[in-house]
Structure 1
Amino acid sequence: MMTNLFSVFDPSSSLSMPMNWVSALIFILVVIPTFWVTPTKAATGLNAMSEKLHYEFKTLLGNTSFQGSTLPFIALFMFILINNFMGLFPYIFTASSHMILTLTLSLPLWLTFMMFGWINQTKHMFAHLVPQSTPGALMPFMVLIESISNVIRPLTLAVRLMANMVAGHLLMTLLGNQTASASGIILAGLLATQIMLLTLESAVAVIQSYVFAVLSTLYASEVTSH
């Protein structure tokens, strides 16, 4: 029985180990069939999606892209996408609705980009702190603003993904609680609304995965391009 509205996001379980976090590893079941001799339709679709993402991420990286440079971002997209979709099924824990997962994905990426940029391209990183045509009097403020925006990037990436997944699940939970006591036309309206909301959540699952991967690619291109 739910004690509060956020109980659906409770990572605890009745077993000695938090087995609901295992849902974050379900993507392995999707990746393995892609290596079969005779690929399935699902594997063919994943390969086509990967090729589309490869060309787009390669364009975003620009001249700094090399063979295999888009693979981490494609894998990131697939991992988040599968976790988002798994959370739409009943009794499956939504791992991407917790900061412990989203921040674990965004923070190492951001630290890697920053370390690479400041160690190998220090002048280029300093130049990024002051946009072109900035008046001399505003330069100190622009450096402060740009520094803050760079520091909060992993937090904004993590919060964006987590907040969007939590918001949709909360709406579905609220509507689901009302269907137990509804009847007649109200019940039919609630069911139709839930179906539309589920469709919207499916689109949000794809969009948020894409946004997370694209922003990570753009952050990498800012560090490597000069």
Structure 2
Amino acid sequence: MMPNLFSSFDPVTIYSLSLNWSSSMILFFLIPLLYWTSPSRWISTWLTITLLIHKEFKVLIKTPIYLGSTLIFYNLMIYILFNNFMGLFPYVFTNTSHLNFTLYMSLPFWLSFMLFGWIKNTTHMLAHLVPQGAPNPLMPFLVVIETISNLIRPGTLAIRLTANMIAGHLLITLLSNSSSKIELVLISLMIIPQIALLILESAVAMIQSYVFSILMTLYSEEIN
């Protein structure tokens, strides 16, 4: 029984060390060495997935010279997806349930987009602050609203991913903790909702990684 419901999201659990963050690096150890050296079915599978996701992102990027940037967003999506799935395994720390992990992914991307846009396309960025066809009296208010919406983008991205991962994990933790206090017959009945929750969390892990990378792609397109 956990002393605190939120203790499963505590990164400091092993001799007062933050070793749980190391689970985000397991991906690089799981990839076989042959993946980098010779063609194989593993490579063919990843290439197929890469092309499918590239076609999905390519629709959002209208500038032809920036089509190669889909590889960045693809890798970001795979990395978030892996960390989301790792949190579904028992005794594995969920990195994406912490703001200091998700914010470190969203903030650098957003800063790079803003710096690139304001340095290279200053006129376009200024024009983007006022929607086309807006009445003149409302323009100062629209500029303030658009500025605030741009500033909170990295925070909303990080909070969206963190909140979705925490919500499902808390439901699974509640069901798991309550099963130790009920009879054996009722435990067998709780297996069905737990399996349903795991399936739901698997879907949420895929959807949130996709949403995060898609929104990043949209933000990058706005500066061109």
In 1, the alpha carbon distance for the partners of 2:184 and 2:32 equals 46
In 2, are the aligned partners of 1:20 and 1:93 still within 8 Å (CA)? yes
**What is the one-letter code of the residue matched to 1:82?**
F
Partner of 1:188: 188
CA shift, 1:40, in A, is: 4.2
Q: Provide the rounded CA distance (Å) in 2 between the counterparts of 1:147 and 1:30.
A: 42
Residue pair 2:179, 2:187 contacting (<8 A) in 1 also? yes
The CA distance in 1 between the partners of 2:29 and 2:175, in whole Å, is 32
Q: Pairwise CA RMSD of aligned residues?
A: 1.6
How high is the TM-score relative to the length of structure 1?
A: 0.93
Offset of residue 21 of structure 1: 0.7
Match of 1:35 in 2: 36
Other structure's SS at 2:181 match: coil
1:60 equivalent in structure 2: 60
Question: How far off its partner does 1:35 sit?
Answer: 2.4
Query: Could you list the per-position Cα deviations for residues 114-145 of structure 1 after superposition, in whole angstroms to 9, with x for gaps in the alignment?
Result: 00000111110011100011011111111111
Q: 1:146 — aligned with what?
A: 146
What percentage of aligned pairs have identical amino acids? 51
1:111 and 1:64, CA in 2 relative to 1: closer, same or farther beyond 3 A? farther
Post-superposition shift, 1:13?
A: 2.5
- Contiguous gaps of at least 5 residues in structure 2: none
Alpha-carbon displacement from aligned partner over 1:64-86 (angstroms, at most 9, x marks no partner)? 44463211101100100000000
Counterpart Cα distance in 2 of 1:220 and 1:65? 13
Q: Which SS does the other structure have where 1:12 is aligned?
A: coil
Shifted more, 90-99 versus 48-57: the winner is 48-57
Worse overlay, 48-57 or 128-137: 48-57
Aligned match of 1:84: 84
Q: Per-residue CA shift, 1:39-86, capped at 9, x if unaligned?
A: 245x44332211111112122111244463211101100100000000
Q: Which runs of 5+ in 1 are unaligned?
A: none
SS of the equivalent of 2:59 reads helix
The whole-number CA distance in structure 2 between the counterparts of 1:173 and 1:36 is: 42
Where does residue 208 of structure 2 map in the other structure?
A: 208
Q: TM-score under structure 2 normalisation?
A: 0.93
